[in-house]
Amino acid sequence: MTAPLDHTYLAAQSEAQRAIDYPYAAPEGAFVLRAGRLTALDDPALLGGRTAVLSVGSNRAPVQLRRKFGDDAIVPVTPAILHDCDIVHAATVSYYGAVSCTAFPSRGTDVMLNVAWLDAAQLAIMHRTEAIGVAYDYVRMLTGTVTHLPVPSAGGDIVAPSQPVFGYSARSGVLDLGGGQPGGLSRIPARNRQLPTLAQDSAAALVQAFVAGVDPDLDLGTDRDRFIARVTDDRSCRLAVNEHLRGRAISADGPWKVQTVDADDIAAFL
């Protein structure tokens, strides 16, 4: 990978862009985030001793991985397919103003994602940034749910089919577009998609209109900039928005099993 890819996938973002551009651009194939740059994954040994974590939203993107782990980090990433699921808008708004996302069962749908291979310290940071036990659960994907794709630059099939894959599932459930229907993220590619898709700005507008209708005192306004400013600058406003969203959320149970994580284990690395 060359400098132009660094420019494409690691460009600086303003606070507003973090919300508007979510879940950000990601390469289709394997890569390594190394010292703040993108390089080809050409050494399968880089995966050794690391935990495979399925990235369903912004964690797919190099710009988010660099934000979370810093310029000194080495993070190998491999391509994968998530089966019988789609990636949909979650019933929650992040602290930076994006309508978050999560996996949701959708029989026959295949989603093109990637897997970040994290060392112990990076996994602890990821747990913290995903707010496990509060915003997300840490889960283990069931066998057969994820297919690892070849990495030609590293020799082909470098990940065994039996490799355990973990991930995160939104505790809030998923955003109801109306009539109990969730909406997929239009920016994330999928095959045989069964659900309607919604861009981030449309999802934010839906949230904004719904919450303004049930709680006008929150003063969310009618434009996107006002909405972002309110939920990012006022934590109590954001919590109130998310509480209203939970009231119309759809359960997000899927082909995974929630894992128990010891808070002391996380704290040891932070």
The two three-digit tokens of residue 120, written as one number: 């112990």
Q: Write down the pLDDT at residue 252.
A: 79
Give the CA distances from residue 146 to residues 55, 178, 229, in Å, rounded to whole numbers and listed in that order. Answer: 11, 30, 37
Q: Write down the pLDDT at residue 231.
A: 95
Give the pLDDT of the chain (270 residues) as one tens digit per residue. Answer: 444 456 679 988 888 899 999 999 999 999 999 999 999 999 999 999 999 999 999 999 999 999 999 999 999 999 999 999 999 999 999 999 999 999 999 999 999 999 999 999 999 999 999 999 999 999 999 999 999 999 999 999 999 999 999 999 999 999 999 888 999 999 999 999 999 999 999 999 999 999 999 999 999 988 889 999 999 999 999 999 999 999 889 987 899 999 988 766 555 544
Q: Write down the pLDDT at residue 178.
A: 87
**Residues 113, 117, 123, 125, CA torsion sign:** negative
Q: What is the DSSP string of 129-152?
A: HTTBTTTEEEEEEPTTSEEEPPBG
Q: Write down the pLDDT at residue 4.
A: 47
Instruction: Report the domain count for the chain.
Output: 1
- CB burial readout 168-192, b (16+ within 10 A) else e: bbbbbbbbbbeeeebbbbebbebee
Q: Give the single-character DSSP code of 250.
A: B
Dist. CA 180–CA 191, nearest whole Å: 22
CATH code for position 31: 3.10.490.10
What SS3 state is found at 235?
helix
Domain that holds residue 163: 3-267
Peptide bond just before 62 cis, omega within 30 deg = no
Give the CA distances from residue 143 to residues 21, 115, 178, in Å, rounded to whole numbers and listed in that order. Answer: 32, 15, 32
If we measure between CA atoms, which residue out of 200, 143, 156 comes closest to residue 175?
A: 200
Q: What are phi and psi of 253, to 5 degrees?
A: -65, 135
